[in-house]
């Protein structure tokens, strides 16, 4: 049962069981109330603007590092020819 979580379907108000591995809904509850013994899916916390800025800065840093590596590889390939 560790590969499953449950969440409430907002349209029907009933619970659905989801396979965590591939994200597929595997069961729909026909009666009210949650599935027994199945953990609830956690809501993703929204990022604050400060956290988003930090994430963007980290990604920009990674991009610059990759650009540098690409330039070095291109230079190395050109010198071999």
> From CA 24, how far away is CA 44, in angstroms rounded?
18
Residues in the chain: 81
pLDDT tens, residue by residue, 4-61? 999 999 999 999 999 999 999 999 999 999 999 999 998 777 888 998 999 999 999 9
What's the pTM?
0.52
**The pLDDT value given to residue 1:** 55
pLDDT (tens digit per residue) in 57-79: 999 999 999 999 999 999 999 88
**pLDDT on residue 6:** 95
What is the three-class DSSP state of 59?
helix
């Amino acid at each position: 049962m560790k590969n499953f979580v449950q969440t409430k379907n907002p349209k029907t108000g009933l619970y659905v069981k989801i396979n965590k591995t591939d994200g597929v809904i595997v069961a729909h509850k026909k009666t009210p109330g949650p599935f027994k013994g199945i953990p609830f899916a956690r809501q993703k916390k929204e990022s604050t603007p400060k956290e988003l800025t930090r994430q963007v800065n980290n990604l920009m840093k990674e991009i610059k590092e990759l650009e540098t590596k690409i330039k070095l590889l291109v230079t190395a390939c050109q010198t071999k020819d």
